[in-house]
Amino acid sequence: MLLKREVHLTQNSYYEASVSRNTPAASLDGSVQADVCVIGAGLAGLSAALELRQRGFSVVLLEAKTVGWGASGRNGGQLIAGYASDAAIESQLDAAAARDAWQVTVDALALVRQRIAEHQIDCDFVSGYLSLAVNARKARELADYSNHLMQRYHYAVQPIGPADLPEWIASERFHSGVYDPQSGHLHPLKYTLGLAAAARAAGVQIFENTPVHAVSRGSKPVVQSAQGSVSCDFVVMAGNVYLNEYGKAVAPELAPRIMPVGTYIIATEAMAPERAAALIRHRAAVCDTNFVLDYFRPTADQRMLFGGRVSYSGATPLNLAGSMRQRMLAVFPQLSDLAVPYAWGGFVDITMNRGPDFGRLDPNIYYLQGFSGHGLALTGMAGQLAAQAIAGQASRFDLLARLRHHSFPGGAALRTPALVLGMLYHRMKDLL
């Protein structure tokens, strides 16, 4: 099970070490009723719950562990416009619909900013994002993509040539890049906990340590846990790779459509503010354009947070902190004197085409999954779109629900080896 594979990886998280959690909410005990039951207290589920409550629905939210325990509270903190692959929308939607779908991700950035301001969430938000190419071939691909963004989607970015790149980042690893002023980064667990506080204040009932075992479908669904149940009119499933961990009857048809991928991050010890400021101009978030990519950013307390090693096999890499530190030093050798007190990871969900997978299992059962590494902003918008659809305004939800998704080949037994071989192929291409 995924949970057993990664429990130890949550115990050395910089994010967890830098927040103060409230005492966990009680688990569900007994039967309750609500207009809507939301499964999963990550960003998608919390967003849906908050939006529904603001529209007058009574909402019960069930979380198997604690708020933000999964990818929402452990990711790289990069708040980015767009999808993991635009091919998902451009191959299936006409030009106008694709522009509308891309705009959803831009609106998702604005929604995060709005919620931070409205609910006074202290989550270390910083604007600015750098995409960097490691060689001339990848630089041409990045330049083509940035031109595509500006021409097709009217999304303004700033190209950075090789001569100017040293002014942006103190690293010799990169050839050139593109700067996106609208994207940025934040402390994802602080933001998730802040959104949970806003949901509670709005009247959402949150039950933690309440894994869902089954969902009985029909005109009045019943969501069942070990000690209780929720009778409701609508269900929003936002459990992603964890949805079927505790009960095969929750939504078995969704599991083959996503693949759990392990992703890993380290954080250094704190350094002097002027030293941290000299590494990356504007203290922007950074990601290279390799298929097996590295991403990194400075934290508010002057650490370098560095992620990028992934596992498609589900196995945690040996010597995680040491191997990740070597990847960091390939970018910033000047940080060799810094210790790495934090190393953690977890699973994110990806789809075959790297596009989001939103839809309905029944007219009153919605699901949100498949964020494919671009979920920090899009999860919030996904929750809003599901709430709008339940309230009778389904146009934007249905736009993304039009995207078709194939199941991973071979089922659970064969899809992992196939993906491992695929990743080896793309890793070799990155080295060319």
pLDDT tens track of the chain, all 432 residues?
666 555 556 569 999 999 999 899 999 999 999 999 999 999 999 999 999 999 999 999 999 999 999 999 999 999 999 999 898 899 999 999 999 999 999 999 999 999 999 999 999 999 999 999 999 999 999 999 999 999 999 999 999 999 999 999 999 999 999 999 999 999 999 999 999 999 999 999 999 999 999 999 999 999 999 999 999 999 999 999 999 988 877 999 999 999 888 889 999 999 999 999 999 999 999 999 998 889 999 999 999 999 987 776 666 777 889 999 999 999 999 999 999 999 999 888 899 999 999 999 999 999 999 999 899 999 999 999 999 999 999 999 999 999 988 888 766 554 554 444 444 434 444 445
Please report the pLDDT score of residue 411 as a whole number. 60
Contact residues for 30 (Cβ-Cβ < 8 A; gap 6+): 227, 228
Helix (H) or strand (E) run with residue 369 in it: strand 365-369
* 169 located within any domain: no
220: number of Cβ within 10 Å: 11
Round to whole Å and give the CA distance between 207 and 3: 19
Short-list 182, 243, 241, CA closest to 39: 243
Enumerate residues 6+ apart whose C-beta is below 8 A from 266.
305, 306, 307, 320, 321, 324, 325, 328, 340, 342, 343
* Per-residue b or e along 96-106, where b marks 16 or more CB atoms closer than 10 Å to that residue's CB: eebebbbebbb
Is residue 199 within 8 Å of residue 192, measured between CB atoms? no
Q: Is residue 330 part of a domain?
A: no
pTM of the model: 0.93
**How many domains is the chain built from?**
1
At 358, which helix (H) or strand (E)?
Answer: strand 357-362
For residues 59 and 203, what is the distance between their CA atoms, to the nearest angstrom? 8
Q: Write down the pLDDT at residue 408.
A: 81
- Tell whether 218 is covered by a domain: yes
- What's the Cα-to-Cα distance from 407 to each of 138, 230, 379, rounded to whole Å? 30, 30, 21
Within-domain flag for 416: no
Domain enclosing residue 378, as ranges: 2-6+15-75+190-257+352-410
Residue 209 resides in a domain: yes
Residue 46 located in a structural domain: yes
**pLDDT at residue 426 in the model:** 42
Element (H, E) at 152: helix 136-152
Whether 228 is in a domain gets the answer: yes
- What's at 427, amino acid-wise? R
The per-residue pLDDT for 5 is: 58
Q: Do the domain assignments include residue 197?
A: yes
pLDDT given at position 9: 60
CATH number of the domain where residue 216 is located? 3.50.50.60
Q: What is the pLDDT, as a whole number, of residue 407?
A: 87
